[in-house]
Amino acid sequence: MADARRAPLKDQTDVSGARALIVEARFYDDIQDALMEGAVAELKAAGLTHDVITVPGALEIPAAIAIALDAAESTGKPYDAAIALGCVIRGDTIHFEIVSMESSRALMDLAVVRRMPLGNGIITVNTEAQAWARARARELNKGGDAARAALAMLRIKRRLTRI
Which member of 77, 95, 105, 115 is catalytic?
95
- Distance of alpha carbon 51 from alpha carbon 40, whole angstroms: 10
| 50 assigned to active site | no
Q: In terms of CATH, what superfamily is 19-161? A: Lumazine/riboflavin synthase (3.40.50.960)
Distance CA 66, CA 92 (A): 31
**Lowest-confidence segment of 11-20, 46-55, 140-149 by average pLDDT:** 11-20
The answer to which of 24-38, 40-54, 131-145 has the lowest mean pLDDT is 131-145
- pLDDT(28) > 80: yes
pTM listed for this prediction: 0.91
CA distance 151 to 73: 20
Residue type, 134: R
